[in-house]
Amino acid sequence: MSVVEQAVAVGGPELEQVRRLVTEIPGPRSRELAARRAAALPAGLTSAQPVFAAAGGGGVLVDVDGNSFIDFGSGIAVTSVGNSAARVVARATEQLQQFTHTCFLVNPYEGYVEVCEALNRLTPGDHEKRTALFNTGAEALENAVKYARMATGRTGVVVFDHAYHGRSMLTMAMTAKNTPYKKGFGPLAGEVYRSPMAYPYRAPGGAERATADALAALRDLIDVQVGADQIACVVLEPIQGEGGFIVPSPGFFPAVAELCRERGILFVADEVQTGFARTGDMFACEHEGVVPDLITTAKGLAGGLPLAAVTGRAEIMDTVHPGGIGGTYSGNPVSCAAALGVIESIEQEGLVERARQIGTAFLGRLREIAASSPVVGDVRGRGAMIAVELVRPGTTEPDPAAVAAVVKYCQERGLLVLTAGTYGNVLRFLPPLVMPDHLLAEGLDILSEAFAAL
Ligand code: PLZ
């Protein structure tokens, strides 16, 4: 029996799947660490939750005071197969004992190649593909733009309102929101152009016209303002993540891809947050049958070990000269081993289907909450990527204070939930796909009470 088979057979070091509070939140040990943190870390580096982590697994996160929280965040859509999942731990441990690093640019290794083969197989489209590995989502986006510029000989990059693509110098310019991401960090990279998003809930002409209106604006930007022959790529998240889990109105995503094809512009799907079973498809592009030219992935790819990828058409990826792409740690062997464990977990544990079940459970309960809570303006999402947008009753005016109150109520009762949204007024839910039903139900009960208490 291999190490992996053994770990899966015994089920790994499973944490008890319960919500349990044993101290006030944050507890004494977390408060002590918070004081040390305040003295050692810069003020601008913040955390959404006040509790320090000690262990995680299945659907729970245990803090340093022994409180066990139901985790509706997965470290922002990363630990989709669970924290310290058996297959991930076993493969990464085995790799740690073999070697931790060579630098793929110096000595290659099989794990890297295997991850690339898997991504070429799993991503949408049956054309010939190539994959290159990186460390972070932002780095994948940076490199997708490098490939697109090299392959097209053009420089322009088109992105959308509410987009989030990272915090590095280029991706900061591609990200829509000024504060906290861009304020004071300029000058921003040039040649980045922004188009309106087909955001059904906030479409100026109404939800029915969201697709047509946003497409008309994109066409105008491409053909009139910038010039199609200046544009290397259009980059779009299939469901916008940090922007507020904005599911584009039907038809928009495939129409953008088609418009790109007509203009010789490369279409890049940023699946950093949506990828790896999260939305009830292996990749969110599949929902409307879109085959992007390039796809960026990270987060859910390696169960929390840093790994990101650009997967694309071979003829695009092969245009870059030898040595033009790389990085000391890119495609680290331990991260690659973890990714192989993640992919195996998704495929063998039926997690794509599980994401759909979770989505059905969430949407049902959230629509019940919406029916009795006038602050809920919109309920949306797909699979296990679900959100509610909160507004002042009777209006569409964002209500970030209501979001903060719900988060605090949940936190104090042992449920971790995350926020999002350009206006800070979205509650988002990203449970690990392996969360047992009883924890999902318990978490949704707490959420329901939180709304009743508003
Ligand atoms: N593209 C679609 O969601 C990361 C950001 C957390 P990195 N989103 C979480 C924060 O506030 O820094 C993200 C994403 C999409 C790109 C990225 C960037 O991925 O791995 O954080 O660089």
Q: Which ranges of 99-196 does DSSP label H, i.e. alpha helix?
A: 110-122, 137-152, 169-174
- Classified as helix, coil or strand, 353 is helix
Question: Is the domain of 100 the same as that of 216?
Answer: yes
**Spatial separation of the C-alpha atoms in residues 40 and 51, rounded to whole Å:** 17
Single out the residue in 320, 348, 376 at which a domain terminates.
348
Q: Which runs of consecutive H residues, i.e. helices, occur in 41-134?
A: 74-77, 86-98, 110-122
By three-state DSSP, how is residue 69 classified? strand
- The whole-angstrom separation of Cα 112 and Cα 131 is 10
Query: Looking at residue 75, which CATH number applies to its domain?
Result: 3.90.1150.10
- Enclosing domain of residue 411: 3-85+350-453
The Cα–Cα gap between 230 and 217 comes to 17
At residue 14, the pLDDT reads 76
For residue 41, what pLDDT is reported?
Answer: 98
Q: Is 297 close to ligand 1, i.e. is its CB under 6 Å away?
A: no
Beta carbon of 21 within 6 Å of any ligand 1 atom: no
Do residue 334 and residue 409 come from a single domain?
Answer: no
Sequence letter at residue 147: Y
Query: Which residues share a beta bridge with 305?
Result: 303
Are residue 197 and residue 344 in the same domain, yes or no? yes
From 68, 151, 80, select the one nearest 318 (Cα to Cα).
151
Distance from residue 302's CA to the centre of ligand 1 (Å): 15
Q: What is the pLDDT of residue 3?
A: 60
What's the CA-to-centroid distance between 338 and ligand 1, angstroms? 20
Ligand 1 in reach of 241 Cβ (< 6 A)? yes
Please list the pLDDT of the chain residue by residue as tens digits (454 residues). Answer: 666 666 566 554 579 999 999 999 999 999 999 999 999 999 999 999 999 999 999 999 999 999 999 999 999 999 999 999 999 999 999 999 999 999 999 999 999 999 999 999 999 999 999 999 999 999 999 999 999 999 999 999 999 999 999 999 999 999 999 999 999 999 999 999 999 999 999 999 999 999 999 999 999 999 999 999 999 999 999 999 999 999 999 999 999 999 999 999 999 999 999 999 999 999 999 999 999 999 999 999 999 999 999 999 999 999 999 999 999 999 999 999 999 999 999 999 999 999 999 999 999 999 999 999 999 999 999 999 999 999 999 999 999 999 999 999 999 999 999 999 999 999 999 999 999 999 999 999 999 999 999 9
312/381 same-domain check: no
For 27, list phi and psi in degrees, rounded to 5: -80, 175
380 plus 432 within the same structural domain = yes
Number of H helices and E strands in the chain, helices first, is 14, 15
Q: What is the dihedral of CA 318, 323, 328, 332, to 10 degrees?
A: 30
Q: Are residues 49 and 103 in the same domain?
A: no
Instruction: Indicate whether 224 and 273 sit together in one domain.
Output: yes
Q: What's the total number of domains in the chain?
A: 2
**How far away, in angstroms, is 251 Cα from ligand 1 center?**
25
User: Is 406 found in the same domain as 260?
Assistant: no
CATH of the domain at 306: 3.40.640.10
Ligand 1 nearest-atom number relative to CA 270: 2
Shared-domain flag, residues 322 and 363: no
Distance CA 432, CA 79 (A): 6
pTM of the predicted structure, to 2 decimals: 0.97
Query: Using a 6 Å cutoff on CB, does residue 71 contact ligand 1?
Result: no
Q: Which atom of ligand 1 is nearest to the CA of 298?
A: 20
Q: Classify residue 10 as exposed, middle or buried by CB count within 10 Å of its CB (0-12, 13-18, 19+).
A: exposed
Q: Tell me which H or E stretch contains 313.
A: strand 308-313
- The residue type found at 275 is G
Find the Cα–Cα–Cα–Cα dihedral 311, 317, 323, 326, rounded to 10°: -20
Three-state DSSP class for residue 15? coil
Phi and psi at 90, nearest 5°, equal -65, -45
Tell me which of 76, 162, 177, 185 to substitute to probe ligand 1's pocket, judged by most ligand atoms within 8 Å of the beta carbon: 76
Q: Is 166 in the pocket of ligand 1 (CB under 6 A)?
A: yes
Q: Do 22 and 146 belong to one domain?
A: no
Q: Is the dihedral of CA 63, 181, 302, 123 positive or negative?
A: positive
- Residue where one domain finishes, among candidates 303, 326, 348: 348
Q: Is the CB of 218 under 6 A from ligand 1?
A: no
**Final residue of a structural domain among 348, 381, 408:** 348
**160, 165, 170, 295, best to mutate for ligand 1 pocket (most atoms within 8 Å of CB):** 165
Q: Which two tokens stand for residue 430?
A: 């990203």
- In SS3 terms, 346-406 reads as HHHCCHHHHHHHHHHHHHHHHHHHHHHCCCEEEEEEECCEEEEEEECCCCCCECHHHHHHH
Say whether both 20 and 116 belong to one domain: no
Do the Cβ atoms of 163 and 357 come closer than 8 Å? no
- H/E run at residue 56: strand 53-57
Ligand 1 in reach of 237 Cβ (< 6 A): yes
Residue 107 in tokens: 């000595």
133, 187: one domain: yes
Compute the distance from residue 378 Cα to the ligand 1 centre, in Å.
24
d(CA 114, CA 120): 10
